[in-house]
């Protein structure tokens, strides 16, 4: 495909551990890409911070590298997405006045209790559409105000992540609704604006927060300073951009109700577009970056369980993988594929790190149930694949119970490479999966938003033409029927053990059991 008459769009995603930028032609061809790593800092237990200038510097490096590789002299539009929700306070000069408190951070548990007690969980959830949890932006803002009042007084604005980079390239302080929606309870999901009532009760002036715009709206241009730093032309338009999760969903073509995206990495995420917001606080609810659409999503600990298994129990398989020059997970899959559905009566609760959606239980832990001398390491591995599948199905079950049908799931990321795991999950859910091996992810979604913003695309559906045909996995009805019995037992096991998890936590931490 020639590039002589093409226009070029730049999509940039500021992730938790690295920034990735991709340059696309207006016909969907990837012209060049670049990435740059940086570090998460853990100054105290449960704390997680990053330096916002690491994001800015990584973005500048990536843009320069892309322009050098591609020899493209003019980019017609730029969009930047990123990790979220975060708390990034800046002073009047635009400099960070403390490190960014990122989404992983759990320091604001006391603020969550304050919100539930002083404002009320019901009111917070009614306005924000979400649970109260330290994951969200609102408790992070409140922690900053209550624990660092001197710095809070110096704050000119509280930014939310990637908009720190947008600000330094354009002088515009903005955010989109997909990011704002995860700043519960500060954002009113029905009115699509910051909640004056909640922010006032929290002591957070609304003018500290960014102005809100649709994800594809042009909100500024590359300034002269931004042009000198990046090599982009002064005046190049930028659109608002969005959350990395939402741009990734757009990047795999999931934009309509009935579609879903399954991201199988360290976390396992199920994301589903909706025509109206879903107020079920067992899940995460926000806006999509696609105009007129909302997103509901569930996130569980998934690939992290398999990493634990590999590193703790998989030494033999690692050696075998080296001998055969195969991925270790392929060796583990081969062994597990020979076993029957249900792993001969072995079930795993995969709650190794507690869990967010849909159980919101910080005390939950991993449990193998049903171990006998007959069971092997292969049984334990297959039970892990199935247990994660049951936990993902719990998310889907909530959505379908509310009358929303899902006819197909796009499966992406490292875990989705496993045909066995895709078949297991498809059989458990009874829903076909479409494995997309090569996806542009969030940078591709960003490029689409930039194209809509500058007017070369009518809407987000153009992305459907940019995505390669996937490998389809159909559920096997007899397997689905068998898995339903195991899934129901999986759900009961957690309910039975829920109080025991709390007691275990108290014993470990030398607290009295009631």
CATH of the domain at 502: 3.30.420.40
Question: What's the whole-number mean pLDDT along residues 248-256?
Answer: 96
> Out of 26-30, 44-48, 201-205, 431-435, which region has the weakest mean confidence (pLDDT)?
44-48
The answer to whether residue 448 sits within a structural domain is no
Of 193, 219, 242, at which residue does a domain stop? 242
The answer to whether residue 137 sits within a structural domain is yes
**Residue 514 clears pLDDT 80, i.e. is over it:** no
Same domain, 139 and 59: yes
The answer to whether residue 331 sits within a structural domain is yes
pLDDT value of position 3? 62
What residue numbers bound the domain in which 504 lies?
Answer: 303-400+476-508
Total residues found in the chain within this entry: 514
**Residue 513 clears pLDDT 80, i.e. is over it:** no
Same domain, 226 and 332: no
Same domain, 307 and 236: no
The answer to whether residue 410 sits within a structural domain is no
**Residue 112 clears pLDDT 50, i.e. is over it:** yes
Same domain, 311 and 394: yes
pLDDT value of position 1? 43
Same domain, 238 and 307: no
**Residue 163 clears pLDDT 90, i.e. is over it:** yes
pLDDT value of position 279? 83
pLDDT value of position 511? 78
Interval 455-469: pLDDT, tens: 999 999 999 999 988
Of 200, 218, 242, at which residue does a domain stop? 242
**Residue 269 clears pLDDT 80, i.e. is over it:** yes
The answer to whether residue 449 sits within a structural domain is no
Question: Residue 228's CB: how many other CB atoms inside 10 A?
Answer: 11
pLDDT value of position 65? 98
Interval 476-494: pLDDT, tens: 999 999 999 999 999 999 9
pLDDT value of position 482? 98
Interval 293-327: pLDDT, tens: 999 999 999 999 999 999 999 999 999 999 999 99
Q: Which residue has the higher pLDDT, 46 or 75?
A: 75
The answer to whether residue 390 sits within a structural domain is yes
Asked if 440 and 251 count as a contact pair (C-beta separation under 8 A), the reply is: yes
The answer to whether residue 343 sits within a structural domain is yes
Asked if 420 and 270 count as a contact pair (C-beta separation under 8 A), the reply is: no
**Residue 125 clears pLDDT 50, i.e. is over it:** yes
Q: Cα(391)–Cα(384) distance, rounded to whole angstroms?
A: 11
- Identify any residues that bridge with 267 across adjacent strands, giving them in sequence order: 301
Mean pLDDT (the chain) is 96
Token pair recorded at residue 106:
């759990």
Same domain, 227 and 361: no
Q: Cα(148)–Cα(153) distance, rounded to whole angstroms?
A: 9
Asked if 426 and 385 count as a contact pair (C-beta separation under 8 A), the reply is: no
Among residues 253, 273, 304, 179, which one has the least CA distance to residue 410? Answer: 253
Number of domains in the chain: 2
């Amino acid at each position: 495909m020639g590039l002589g008459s093409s226009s070029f769009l730049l999509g940039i995603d500021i992730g938790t551990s690295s920034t990735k930028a991709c340059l696309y032609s207006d016909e969907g061809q990837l012209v060049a890409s670049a990435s740059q790593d940086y570090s998460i800092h853990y100054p105290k237990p449960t704390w997680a911070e990053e330096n916002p200038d690491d994001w800015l510097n990584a973005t500048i490096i990536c843009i320069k590298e892309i322009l050098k590789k591609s020899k493209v002299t003019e980019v017609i539009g730029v969009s930047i997405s990123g990790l979220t929700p975060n708390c990034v306070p800046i002073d009047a000069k635009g400099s960070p006045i403390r490190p960014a408190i990122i989404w992983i951070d759990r320091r604001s548990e006391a603020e969550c209790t304050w919100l539930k007690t002083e404002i009320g969980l019901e009111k917070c959830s009614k306005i924000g559409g979400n649970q109260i949890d330290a994951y969200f932006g609102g408790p992070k803002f409140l922690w900053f105000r209550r624990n660092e009042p001197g710095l809070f007084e110096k704050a000119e604005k509280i930014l939310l992540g990637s908009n720190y980079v947008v600000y330094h390239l354009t002088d515009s302080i903005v955010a989109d609704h997909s990011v704002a929606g995860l700043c519960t309870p500060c954002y009113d999901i029905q009115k699509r604006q910051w909640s004056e009532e909640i922010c006032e009760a929290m002591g957070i002036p609304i003018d500290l927060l960014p102005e809100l715009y649709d994800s594809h709206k042009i909100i500024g241009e590359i300034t002269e300073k931004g042009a000198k730093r990046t090599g982009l032309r002064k005046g190049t338009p930028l659109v608002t951009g969005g959350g990395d999760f939402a741009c990734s969903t757009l990047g795999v073509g999931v934009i309509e109700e009935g579609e879903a995206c399954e991201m199988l990495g360290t976390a396992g995420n199920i994301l589903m577009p909706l025509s109206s917001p879903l107020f079920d606080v067992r899940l995460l609810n926000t806006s999509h970056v696609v105009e007129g659409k909302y997103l509901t999503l569930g996130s569980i600990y998934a690939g992290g369980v398999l990493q634990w298994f590999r590193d703790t129990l998989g030494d033999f398989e690692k050696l075998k993988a080296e001998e055969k020059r195969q991925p270790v997970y392929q060796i583990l899959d081969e062994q597990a594929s020979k076993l029957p559905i249900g792993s001969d009566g072995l079930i795993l609760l995969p709650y190794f790190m507690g869990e967010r959606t849909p159980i919101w239980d910080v005390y939950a832990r991993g449990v193998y149930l049903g171990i006998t001398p007959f069971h092997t390491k292969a049984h334990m591995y297959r039970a892990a694949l199935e247990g994660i599948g049951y936990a993902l199905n719990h998310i889907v079950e909530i959505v379908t119970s509310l009358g929303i049908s899902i006819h197909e799931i796009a499966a992406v990321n490292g875990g989705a490479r496993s045909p066995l795991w895709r078949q297991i999950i498809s059989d458990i859910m009874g829903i076909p999966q479409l494995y997309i091996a090569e996806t542009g992810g969030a940078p591709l979604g960003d490029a689409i938003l930039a194209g809509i913003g500058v007017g070369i695309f009518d809407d987000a559906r153009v992305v459907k033409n940019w995505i390669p045909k996937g490998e389809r996995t159909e559920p096997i009805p007899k397997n689905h029927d068998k898995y339903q019995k195991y899934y129901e037992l999986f759900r009961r096991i957690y309910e039975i053990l829920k109080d025991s998890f709390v007691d275990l936590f108290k014993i470990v931490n030398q607290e009295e059991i009631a």
